[in-house]
Chains A and B, each alone.
Chain A
Amino acid sequence: AAGVIQSPRHLIKEKRETATLKCYPIPRHDTVYWYQQGPGQDPQFLISFYEKMQSDKGSIPDRFSAQQFSDYHSELNMSSLELGDSALYFCASSFTGGGMNEQFFGPGTRLTVL
């Protein structure tokens, strides 16, 4: 079965640089979620999109923005990177017509800011 795809899997950036993370949800899934997991921490919700519209917003810094495109893939744009942005970034997708609406996670993008 197809899974959530995230690219790149690893990314190294310098402080103040910009990064773009991409997410390709499971086919026919209509909702995408972004989570940030710092070292030794639990995942924290950043933002979500339903049918290409922003549906909910969590603890996402103003330096970050995201969107979902017509083909349902999503991108998380991160500017003015800080050392504290180093984390594992997960994308998850779900299908709202599926009852439980369980979220399936991608493998994550490990971002290191130097």
Chain B
Amino acid sequence: AQTVTQSQPEMSVQEAETVTLSCTYDTSENNYYLFWYKQPPSRQMILVIRQEAYKQQNATENRFSVNFQKAAKSFSLKISDSQLGDTAMYFCAFMKHVGGGGSQGNLIFGKGTKLSVKP
């Protein structure tokens, strides 16, 4: 069974600074996907960034980037130029790749990291 671990229950960062959220996972699968979701106080689940395990290049989406270390099973999220609107719970998630067409796997989430951006 796959597990996702986020070791930082809470973090805070000053506006405009950079912060890194940690995530490790355990799996015997070779093909899978990793995601970071943001859940603001509205409780909406918003996809921040995604990474395919077979891609060595780290994914980047504007101010958000990841450091994907497949051998170490690590998938950290870096937020640059933090903004007040980045205040939210951040969940790291794993999804197994299911080949051959048809349905795909469900998401397995970590416990989340509550990020506060301070003015």
Contact = CB atoms under 8 A, between A and B. Distances in A.
Interface string A95-114: 01000111111011010000
Interface residues of B, number: 25
Contacts of B107: 33, 35, 43, 45, 92, 103
Contact of B44 (A55, A100, A107): A107
A24 to B, nearest CB: 16
A36 to B, nearest CB: 11
Contacts of B33: 100-102
Interface in B28-61: 33, 35, 37, 42-47, 50, 52
A20 B111 CA distance: 27
Given A88-B43, A100-B50, A105-B44, A43 B109 contact: yes
Interface of B: 33, 35, 37, 42-47, 50, 52, 91, 95, 101-112
Interface of A: 31, 33, 35, 37, 41-45, 48-50, 55-56, 58, 88, 90, 92, 94, 96, 100-105, 107-108, 110
Given A31-B103, A92-B45, A102-B47, 8 more contacts: A31-B104, A41-B111, A58-B106, A101-B104, A102-B50, A103-B95, A104-B47, A107-B43
